[in-house]
A and B are shown apart, each in its own frame.
Chain A
Amino acid sequence: MNIPSDLRYNNSHEWVRLEGDVATVGITDHAQAELTDVVFVELPAVGRQVDMGDPTAVVESVKAASDIYAPISGEIIEGNPEVEADPALVNTDPYGKGWIFKMRVKDAAAVEKLMDAAAYQAMIS
């Protein structure tokens, strides 16, 4: 299972990449494997304010719809149009082209409190 060491993770299987005050969010390799074939991604509206833990996007497989939660509080600044057009990117490149949304975080330091790769690895094993 691929768990990049430069990302942060939360217990609902989202990953966060922080660059300045912008956080890019997607779902982990483990999550995509559990969900299997992603056939639809519902992106959040740009400008929406979300709190940590809010259902923010939806990823759907043939069988089920799964909420994607905001791993951190902030404002949605972008949704990934590529996963909307080609939802399978969430499966094939979960940490790259399969990112789901970007947000401007309120408190960049809060990202540091999320799990690191080792802690996430421990959680899923």
Chain B
Amino acid sequence: MSDNLLHTPLESVHVELGAKMVPFGGWYMPVQYTSILDEHAAVRQQVGIFDISHMGQIVINGAGAEAWLNRMLANNVAKLQPGQGQYSFLLNERGGVIDDLIIYREAADRFFAVVNASRIEQDFFWLAQHQPEDVALANESDLWAGLAVQGPLAAAVFARLFTGVALPPRNGILRFTHEGQELVVCRTGYTGEDGYEFFSAASHGPAWLKAFVAAGAKPCGLGARDSLRLEMGYPLNGSDLSEDLTPIEAGLGFFVDLEKGDFIGRDVLIAQKENGLTRKLVGLQYLEKGAPPRSHYAVESTDGQVIGELCSGVLSPSLMTGIGMAYLPMEFTKLGTVVNIDVRGRKFSAKVVKKPFYKPAPKQA
């Protein structure tokens, strides 16, 4: 490939499996193999597998790691016991989201962060700029291949491949050795279903993808990944989060700890809490069948004023109705508020609903 795209170590397997490959965030990635609807259903009902090798891994090590991370991140890493992880944010001084990530504590002074593909360089640069002497940083993003195995049967697939290895509990991390290989498994995902993110040395990635597929996981592309995450109301950085929007505006205040002491962006978040917001991210769901809502479609009040635009939108494969998210002025954010979404000049009525749009069956662990 003589393009400027980055290539995942699993590309040859994707091609072998018949994937349709597309550029995504600077990477050449599978958007689907057979059908987004089938892949989506596989994750909701059985088990699917996604290549997440494009995502980044940053290791933070040292005596000062906990105290420093608590100044760099919005959530409270002091709450994590070794083996536990949490969703968190790297914020700029304006409280805007540089990245949303999951940070795991592996030991008292060692942390493992999994970050968005498109933000690896910004994240690492930002961290390195603020790095104190008693903390070491390593960008391991190129070293790891990543697979997200998701769905009600994900744990059964793991048990088939790793006899005697117990998956960590929800949000947990386990680093283990298997036939001489160092592997990492994190009990998390981006679909709302039970599952885990699995990391191996990049060179071993293709064999692991084949092994998981042979053990029953259906290969799934970014198309299904997007419809699955949006049914859960999970934000996608770059679409639903940006450096100009705070986690409070995104409705993600649950993952911010304003009481833990100072961190970058905290003043802005406190001011928003005290003074109130002017806009907030809401979930919108069509009242009737209609053309699939998509990002950048205008959102209008029922009297025809443009009040915002969709940052994400999709025809929900589980609900078979249009769903989307938009930052709207506060007067339009009350549950049940009806707005119109403009699709090529046609208006489809939608109402503000609580997220998630879709509730998966209860998970184990």
A residues adjacent to B (C-beta < 8 A): 36-37, 39-40, 42, 58, 60-63, 65
Contacts and interface: CB of A to CB of B under 8 A. Distances in A.
Interface string B171-196: 00000000000000000000000000
Contacts of A40: 290-292, 315
Nearest to A91: B35
A40 B293 CA distance: 11
Contacts of A60: 291-292, 315
Question: How many of chain B's residues touch chain A, expressed as a range?
Answer: 10 to 19
A62 B32 CA distance: 11
- Secondary structure at the B interface, as helix, strand, loop or mixed, is mixed
Contact of B227 (A42, A62, A65): A62
Contacts of B294: 65
Contacts of A36: 32, 35-36
Nearest to A41: B291
23 contacts: A36-B32, A36-B35, A36-B36, A37-B35, A40-B290, A40-B292, A40-B315, A42-B291, A42-B346, A58-B344, A60-B291, A62-B36, A62-B223, A62-B227, A62-B292, A62-B314, A62-B315, A62-B317, A63-B31, A63-B32, A63-B36, A65-B291, A65-B294
Contacts, number: 38
B36 A61 contact: yes
- Secondary structure at the A interface, as helix, strand, loop or mixed, is strand
B33 to A, nearest CB: 10
Interface string B149-190: 000000000000000000000000000000000000000000
B214 interface: no
By Cβ-Cβ distance, the 8 closest A-B pairs, closest first, are: A62-B36, A37-B37, A39-B315, A63-B223, A60-B292, A40-B291, A37-B35, A36-B35
A111 B88 CA distance: 60
Contacts of B290: 40
Contacts of B292: 39-40, 60, 62, 65
B325 to A, nearest CB: 16
Nearest to A60: B292
Contacts of B36: 36-37, 61-63
Contacts of A37: 35-37
A92 B18 CA distance: 20
B85 to A, nearest CB: 30
A65 B314 CA distance: 11
Contacts of A58: 291, 344
A124 to B, nearest CB: 16
Given A37-B36, A42-B291, A62-B227, 10 more contacts: A36-B35, A37-B37, A39-B315, A40-B315, A42-B344, A58-B291, A60-B291, A60-B292, A62-B37, A62-B40
Contacts of A42: 291, 344, 346
A65 B343 CA distance: 11
Contacts of B37: 37, 39, 62
